[in-house]
Amino acid sequence: MSTQLFDAIDYLAKEKGIDKQILMEALEAALISAYKKNFKSATNVRVELNEDTGKMAVYSRKNIVDEVEDPQQEIPIQEAKEINPNYELDDVVEVEVTPKDFGRIAAQAAKQVVTQRVREAERGVIFSEYSDREDDVMTGIIQRKDPRYVYVHLGKVEAKLPEAEQMPTEEYHVHDRIKVYVTKVENTSKGPQIYISRSHPGLLKRLFEMEVPEIYDGIVEIKSVAREAGDRSKISVHAPDPDIDPVGSCVGQKGQRVQAIVNELKGEKIDIVQWSEDPVVYVSNALSPSKVLTVLVNEEEKSTTVVVPDYQLSLAIGKRGQNARLAAKLTGWKIDIKSETDAREEGILDEVEKTYSDNEESLFE
């Protein structure tokens, strides 16, 4: 066999980034398969490849036994000792059985099998590369679209952006460059499958990590994200160092940092609120931009009753209940919002006022 075959394997290994040993094993498997198929042999065989000379040899392997039951798999001890007196029972005898025209047959079979292994190895390399990008943001180019999917090219693979993961307010055009959130990477029989999203809360979180150095460096922490993609989102942040303003860090000078993210999300409104371990403070912050008079907490049911000024009630609840809904998702607390008038009629504010001392001011006044 010509050394050209081995040169081709070297080239494939370097060009495709595939372990050369994988290709050599594929070649050996192809040669064994070709031998058994073309020469109708059921004997166990081994292929020996010599990269320096470009030659190959096929060896039949038979077990040494006292009595032969299967001549294709076994050889009697007497016959084995004629080959080599040192052979003993249960040893394996190898005899070269390389056919004269085996090189031509083997080359044809090897081409098909090696091509298949190369394809499989390429898929493995791509899967390894992209599996590390799960829960990360990647930039891709829209290749095409249909009623169900937008197809985004991510370098070596094409990912599908399903309708359920698209932003309802966003239009997708071929050749547009967009950032997508990788939700899952699977290695299937058809190759690596990359699942992406534009509506996942993780996209917002990663965009803040990319835009705000304090978050990337761990100086500011993202505690929670609540998102209704394309419309409005809330994100809570915290800085262990009391001298650092976490909200200000995310907003940036003249709002440049948050505006860059808003632009990437095509105008999605983003509320940045300060996290607190105190549910009274946290829930109050989460209902921004509305003002809050007081918050009553039920620890057992993990619920809160929030009292707001009458003129702030619609702002606190938000359009179609959006502000209250996002605040509840963000904090993990149930939120029941009441106007000041209703709270007084129900005796809620009277109860609150009894709780505080005569001269003690409410945290929110």
Closest to 247 in 3D by CA, of 259, 232, 235, 256: 235
Alpha-carbon 69 to chain mean position? 55
**Residues forming CATH 3.30.1480.10 domain(s) in the chain:** 2-129
Closest to 199 in 3D by CA, of 160, 170, 235, 236: 170
pLDDT at 144 over 70: yes
Q: What is the pLDDT of residues 151-193, one digit of tens each?
A: 999 988 899 999 999 999 899 999 999 999 999 998 887 788 8
Q: From the CB of residue 133, how many other CB atoms can be counted at a distance below 10 Å?
A: 13
**Residues forming CATH 2.40.50.140 domain(s) in the chain:** 133-197
Domain 2-129: CATH superfamily is NusA, N-terminal domain (3.30.1480.10)
Across the range 221-232, mean pLDDT stands at 95
Distance (Å, whole) CA 355 – CA 361: 11
The predicted pLDDT at position 359 comes to 39
Distance (Å, whole) CA 14 – CA 33: 26
Task: Report residue 18 as tokens.
Answer: 């595939």
142 φ, ψ (degrees, to nearest 5): -70, 120
Distance (Å, whole) CA 343 – CA 334: 17
> Rounded to two decimals, what is the model's pTM?
0.69
pLDDT-based confidence at residue 106 (cuts at 50, 70, 90): low
Q: Do 225 and 265 meet the contact criterion of CB atoms below 8 Å apart?
A: no
pLDDT at 278 over 50: yes
- Alpha helices by DSSP H, listed for 141-295, are 201-211, 213-216, 246-251, 256-264, 279-286
Q: Which residues contact 197 (CB under 8 A, 6 or more apart)?
A: 161, 165, 180, 181, 183, 203
Across the range 301-313, mean pLDDT stands at 94
- CATH C-level class of 133-197: mainly beta
The predicted pLDDT at position 42 comes to 63
**Residues forming CATH 3.30.300.20 domain(s) in the chain:** 277-364
- CATH C-level class of 277-364: alpha beta
Task: Report residue 280 as tokens.
Answer: 């009274």
Distance (Å, whole) CA 50 – CA 13: 18
Across the range 114-118, mean pLDDT stands at 75
The predicted pLDDT at position 358 comes to 42
The H-or-E segment that residue 212 falls in is none
Distance (Å, whole) CA 360 – CA 202: 42
pLDDT at 205 over 70: yes
The predicted pLDDT at position 136 comes to 93
Amino acid at site 340: E
- The segment with the largest mean pLDDT, out of 118-122, 190-194, 318-322, is 318-322
6 versus 211: the higher-pLDDT residue is 211
